[in-house]
Amino acid sequence: MPEIGWSIPGFLAVGLVALAATNALTPAVRRMARRLGAIDYPGGRRINTRPTPRLGGVAIFLGFAAAAVVAMVVTRPIELVGTGAELFIRIPIAMQTDRAILGIMLGGTFLMAVGVYDDLRGMHPALKFLAMLAAASVLIPFGLTTQFLTNPLTGRIVALGPWGAVLTVVWVVAVVNIINFIDGVDGLAAGIVAIAGTTLLLTAAHKRDVVAISLAAALVGSSVGFLRHNFNPARIFMGDSGSMFLGYVLGGLSVMGLYKSYTAISLAVPILALGVPIVDTAFAIVRRFRSGRPIYLPDRGHLHHRLLDRGLTQRQTVFLLYSVSALLGLGALALAGVNRAGSVATLGVIAVILLIGARRMGLLTR
């Protein structure tokens, strides 16, 4: 009897492992957080109306780590072969320990552990910042550095030399912080990370970068797996352990894209994919500076707070910001097919729209 075969792309298997593992582990992590007393109680800046465990980042990390292991051993499609009444699964195993995966896992593990400590006992912002710098620096010896940038106006490639390592560290630390800043509404950070991760996945697929595709799939899968428990009304928060880890992986993935492509588009893609949290963080810095408050001091002036104050529910707020993020992601992907002048014009239009929207929402005021 002839064989009937189907195949499952390796990156899809990676994403499904991340989703299933994170989803399955989150209830156990929630119980552990309750036993350890890692709970956010209502009051102050918090908008939750009931005590909610945090430490969800542990489940996200474990789901991502399980998927990363699959990504290192499954580099070709998984085959499902049917012969009559029997079904066989052929898994092509070829151990390829990519340096990028090891670097992101090593730095991400360290930063996740720092986040767990902060979720349990609290940590001074200066110490957390130093930990972010150390974690971002881990990527350098693993080859994840931004060595070149392209001038979007002239198209000339600029070699960064030793400044490439500095730019890499600054960028990764920035992404860690913007994901941390936007984690203020049930499901917001996890959803935006999933959307940004999907944008990076599609960009990597266009470049046929197998490692980046697999890591992006693991990021999206772990975010979506956690989102089932974190969407409003949230049963668990990701905490700093989750927001810092997700931000770190996003930063590392975008650096991979810059490292393997010299076009100006490669810089625009992660910036637009993370457009909502980047704009929110930038205006938060301006707002706090103008009011004379420390930049790291939290406030209720973030975009999601503004939308809630205008009468939107948490779910309406999240869906609105999801939609904006998805549109920006589509804009980033569309840029890949535009010439240099068109790219600059498109980016200019997007910047003007974001500035107008920010002013209408009052993001620059207290």
Lowest mean pLDDT among 62-76, 118-132, 254-268: 254-268
Question: For the chain, which residues make up each domain, given as ranges?
Answer: 4-361
- For residue 226, give both structure tokens: 């956690």
Q: Does residue 152 have a cis bond before it (omega within 30 degrees)?
A: no
The highest-confidence range among 4-13, 33-42, 94-103, by mean pLDDT, is: 33-42
Q: Residue 266's pLDDT is what? A: 55
CA angle 327, 333, 336 (to 5 degrees): 145
Q: What is the average pLDDT score of the chain?
A: 81
Mean pLDDT, to the nearest integer, of 83-97? Answer: 64
Look up the pTM and report it.
0.85
Under DSSP, the state recorded for 301 is -
Residue with tokens 């209502």: 42
Mean pLDDT, to the nearest integer, of 66-79? Answer: 80
Q: Residue 225's pLDDT is what? A: 96
DSSP secondary structure, 315-337, as one string: HHHHHHHHHHHHHHHHHHHHHTT
- At 4, which helix (H) or strand (E)? strand 4-8
- For residue 161, give both structure tokens: 């030399």
Specify the higher pLDDT residue, 40 or 111: 111
- For residue 355, give both structure tokens: 């500035």
Radius of gyration of the chain (CA): 21
Strands of 86-90's sheet in order across: 4-8, 78-83, 86-90
Indicate if the pLDDT at residue 121 is higher than 50. Answer: yes
User: How far apart are alpha carbons 17 and 212 in whole angstroms?
Assistant: 16
Indicate if the pLDDT at residue 297 is higher than 50. Answer: yes
Instruction: End-to-end CA distance of the chain: give it in Å, rounded.
Output: 73
Q: Which amino acid is at 101?
A: I
Q: Residue 264's pLDDT is what? A: 45
How many CB atoms sit inside 10 A of residue 125's CB? 12
- For residue 234, give both structure tokens: 């949230």
Read off the pLDDT band of 191 (50, 70, 90): very high
How many CB atoms sit inside 10 A of residue 126's CB? 9
Q: Which amino acid is at 87?
A: L
* DSSP helix/strand/coil, 156: coil
Tell me which residue of 151, 254, 277, 160 sits closest to 201, measured CA to CA: 254
Q: Residue 238's pLDDT is what? A: 94
Specify the higher pLDDT residue, 129 or 45: 129
Mean pLDDT, to the nearest integer, of 265-285? Answer: 77
Q: Residue 263's pLDDT is what? A: 46
Q: What is the pLDDT of residues 196-220, one digit of tens each?
A: 999 888 888 877 888 889 999 999 9
